[in-house]
Structure 1
Amino acid sequence: MKLKLTLPIAVFLTLLTVALCTGSQLFLLLSILILLILAGAVVAVLWASATLEVEGVLSGETVRRGDDVVLSLRVRHRGLIPVAPLLLELSDPVGNRDRDVRLKNMPHRLQSMKLPIHASHVGVFSVGLHSCTVEDLLGLVQRRIVLRKTAFELVVLPQTFDVEPLKLAPGDPGSELMSRATEDLNAPSDIRSYQPGDAMKKIHWKLSMRKRELVVRKFDEPILQDVLVLMDCSPPPSWGHARAGADIRDAMLETAASIVTSQTVTDHQIRMPLPGKHPVDVDKSMGLPIAMDYLTRVEFSETDRFERVLSMESSRLRKVGCVVIISARLNIPMVDIMIRMHRAGPNIRLYLVTFAPDDENVLPLIARLREAGLEVSYVTPDT
C-alpha cells in the first residue's frame, strides 16, 4: 500500500501545534478533521481491496497473426466508503506495452466490459488484466493488487503463404523412382524365396538351379533426399524504427512456416535447426502443429554469426537435395558459403527478408548468387 501523507501530515502537525499554542478549538477541530480524513481514506481503500472481485475470460488462446481476440472482464467491489474509480492495468501484444483502463466508481454493482486484443506479431505473449489499483478520492492512499487468474498466455501463430515448389538437386530419385525401385536390377541387396506374383525377371536363375527352388533378388529402395531449412535466429538488423525488428521476425517466421507447410504434402523429409537459448531441431515427423508451435516460440537469441551456422551445416549435406536459407542480412562470407554448399550438390534457395530490395550494397551479392545458379527471392515485411 502506497501512502502520500507528507503534505497532510505536515498540515495536521501545523494545525495541532497552533491549537496547542493558542488554545484555539477551531484549529484543534481542523487537525482532528484531517486525521479523520486520513483514517477514512485508509479504511476505504482496505475495504474496497478486501471485497474486490475480478473475473476474466479470453475468447481464444491460440490465434493466427492478424486475428483478434476478445478479453471479457467482470469487476466489482463491496466497499461502502467511496473510492476513486478503479484503475485496471492490462497488457496486449501491440508493441508489448501495458495500457490502463479507468472504471466508473459504482460500488456493489457489477461492471462488465469487452476489450479487443489485436494479435499483430508472432510469438507468445502474456495478455489480460495483471493488476488493479485502488485509491481514495483524494489520492492519498493507494493499493495495487496483483491478479493471477485474469492473465492469459496468448500464442500467435505465423500466417502462411504460397511458395514455389522446391527444386531438388539433379539425381534426386523422387517418388517416381521410388515406385520403380523393385524393378532396378542393378542394385540387388539380398535374396528371398519366390512368392506368387513376383516378376519373372527378378528370379535368380543360377542360384535357383543350385538350390533347386525358386529364389528372387531383393533390391534397396532409393532414399529420398532431404530438405534443409536454415533460418538466421540472431537478432534482426535495425531499420531505424521501433517495430522494424518485430516486422522482420514475423516475415522470417512466416516464410519458414510456409516452407514447412508446403513440404508436408511431399515425400521428402525436412529438417530445420533452430539455434538460440532453447535450441531445437524441427523435422517432419513431429507433425505440423508442433512445428508451428516451435517456430512461434523462437526468441531470435542466437549469439553465433549466421555465417558460422551455415559453415557448420555445410559439412552435413550428404542426403540433402535442397537447402532453404532465410535471412534478413546478406554479406560476402555468407555468399561464399552458399556457393560452396551449392557446389557440394544441393540446390540453394535464399529468402532475403528486407525493406529495401533495391539496396545498392546488396544487389551485387544477389547477382553473384544468381550467376552461380542459386535461387533468390525477396520477402518484404508487413508494416
Structure 2
Amino acid sequence: MRGRRWFCYVLLLVFLIGGMASGKSDFFVVFGILLAVFLSAVLGNVWVARRLRWKQSLSSGIVMAGSSARFHLDLTGKKWFFTLLKINVDTGQGDDAQALIPWLPGASNHVDLSVEYPYRGNYKVGVTSVEVQDVFGLHRVVLSGRKRGDDLLPLTVCPRIFPAVVPEQPVSSQTGQDAANDARPADAGDSFSAPRSYQPGDSLKRIHWKLSAKTRELYTRQYEIAVERHILLILDNQNYGLATEESLAYGEVACQLACSVVSSLAESGRNVKVMAGSGPWQWCSGPDGFPQVYQWLACLPFEGRQAVSDILRGEAAEEKRPGMAYVITARSDADMMANLSLLGSLGCRAVCLEVQVPGVERQKSEVRPGVKLVPVPMDGVPQVLRKSL
C-alpha cells in the first residue's frame, strides 16, 4: 500500500509540474482527476473510521484440541463505495488471523473466522486492529482494538478424550495391615469384625449373646464392610528442555492419556487422586467431579521440576494407600520404577505410561516386579488406550 501511495504522489507531482511547465490543460485535467480520487479515498476512510464500531464474541469459550474455534465480529457504522476493512485478530498462538471484507453499501455487517487450535491450554482471543482502506490502496486508517477498550476473550482448549479400557476393580491386598486399610467397621457388613458395648437403639439380632452371658454386660456384633481404595494418577509435567512446539506436543499427548484414563474411571464411579509433578492435586469422585479435573488438566503448565519419585514415596508411606497407580511421563528412571515397585509390593497395581517424545533422552531402567511399563507413541494414544491398563 505504501508503494501505491508514493506512486500516486509522484504522478500528482509529475502532472502538476508538467502542466505548469507546458501550460497545457490536459496535464491539469489528469492532475485534477487524480487529486479527486486521492482526496475521496482519504476523506472516505476517515469518515468510515470515525463511525465504525464492532462487538466481538466466541461461539463457545471451551473447545477440544484439534478442532476450530468460531470467532464472530458484528460491525456497525457508515459505509462508503470504495472502502475495504482489514481485520486482524489475535488468536493467542503467536500469530494473527486476518480477514479482508468489502465495506460497501449492502455488504454484510458480520464477520466469522474459524481458527484451529491443535494444542490444549488457555488462550486470549480478540481484535487487535481494524484497518480502513480504499480499494486503490492509496490511504488507510488503523483503529486499535486495545485503545478502544476491547478486552480479549478467554478461550480454553481441552485435550481430546479417547475410550480407555481400565480394570473393573482396583487390585488390593487381603492380608495383614493392607487388609485393614481396605475395610472399616460398621453395624452391618460382609463379615464379623469384633464386639462392642451395647448402645440404645441397637437391634436385638446383632447382640452377642454368648459374650453378654459370660460378662453379664450386653455386647453387639460389629461387622466389616469393604472399602474400595482410591486410584492415583501422577502426571509428569516437566518439559525436559524441549522446544516450544515439542513441549506443547508432549503436554497434549500426556494430558490426552490422563483425561482419558480419569474419564473412564470416573464413569465407573471410582475415586481418583490426580497429581502433577509440581503444583496442587485434584480429587475426582465419579462423573460429577470430572469436569473440574478436565479443565485443570487443560491449563496445567509443563514447566515444573520432576518430583514424581517424591510423590510415590509419600503415597507409599500414607496409611490409606491407593489400590492402583498410574504414572504418565516422558522418561522413566530407576528411582521412579523402584518406587512404583514399592507400591506394587504393598498391594497396589502400578502402571507406567512412557510417552515416546523425540528429543528426550531415555534412561535404561529395569522393569521391576509388579510394574507394567507401557510405551506410548506420540500418535498412538487411541491404540494404547484400547488395551487393558
What's the TM-score once normalised by structure 2's chain length? 0.71
8 Å CA contact 2:327–2:353 kept in 1: the answer is yes
Task: Tell me: CA distance 1:114–1:143, structure 2 relative to 1, closer, same or farther (3 Å).
Answer: closer
Where structure 2 has 5 or more consecutive residues not aligned to the other structure, the ranges are: 381-389
The answer to whether 1:273 aligns with 2:270 is no
Give the alignment's Cα RMSD to 1 decimal: 4.6
Map residues 225-374 of structure 1 onto 2, 5 A cutoff. Answer: 225-235=229-239, 238=242, 243-265=245-267, 269-274=271-276, 276=278, 279-285=279-285, 287-302=289-304, 304=305, 306=306, 308-317=307-316, 318=318, 319-321=320-322, 322-343=324-345, 346-354=348-356, 364-365=364-365, 368-369=366-367, 371-374=368-371
Map residues 9-24 of structure 1 onto 2, 5 A cutoff. Answer: none
Q: CA deviation at 1:287?
A: 1.3
Task: Report the Cα distance in structure 2 between the residues aligned to 1:339 and 1:175, rounded to whole angstroms.
Answer: 19
What's the TM-score once normalised by structure 1's chain length? 0.72
| Aligned residue number for residue 377 of structure 1 | 374
Q: CA deviation at 1:99?
A: 2.0
Tell me the secondary structure at the aligned position of residue 103 of structure 1.
Answer: strand
The answer to whether 1:132 aligns with 2:134 is no
AA in 1 matched with 2:88: E
8 Å CA contact 2:129–2:145 kept in 1: the answer is yes
1:40-72 Cα offsets, whole Å, 9 max, x none, are 655433322222243445333223334445444
| Aligned residue number for residue 386 of structure 2 | none
8 Å CA contact 1:189–1:218 kept in 2: the answer is yes
| Aligned residue number for residue 145 of structure 1 | 144
Task: Tell me: CA distance 1:342–1:45, structure 2 relative to 1, closer, same or farther (3 Å).
Answer: same
| Aligned residue number for residue 59 of structure 1 | 59
Task: Report the Cα distance in structure 2 between the residues aligned to 1:162 and 1:80, rounded to whole angstroms.
Answer: 57
Q: CA deviation at 1:227?
A: 1.9
Q: CA deviation at 1:237?
A: 6.0
Task: Tell me: CA distance 1:293–1:118, structure 2 relative to 1, closer, same or farther (3 Å).
Answer: same
Task: Report the Cα distance in structure 1 between the residues aligned to 2:361 and 2:8, rounded to whole angstroms.
Answer: 68
Where structure 1 has 5 or more consecutive residues not aligned to the other structure, the ranges are: none
Tell me the percent identity. 16
8 Å CA contact 1:189–1:220 kept in 2: the answer is no
Say how many residue pairs are matched.
363
Task: Tell me: CA distance 1:66–1:30, structure 2 relative to 1, closer, same or farther (3 Å).
Answer: closer
Task: Tell me: CA distance 1:144–1:254, structure 2 relative to 1, closer, same or farther (3 Å).
Answer: same
| Aligned residue number for residue 209 of structure 1 | 216
AA in 1 matched with 2:199: R
Task: Report the Cα distance in structure 2 between the residues aligned to 1:47 and 1:8, rounded to whole angstroms.
Answer: 24
Task: Report the Cα distance in structure 1 between the residues aligned to 2:338 and 2:202, rounded to whole angstroms.
Answer: 54
Task: Report the Cα distance in structure 2 between the residues aligned to 1:202 and 1:266, rounded to whole angstroms.
Answer: 41
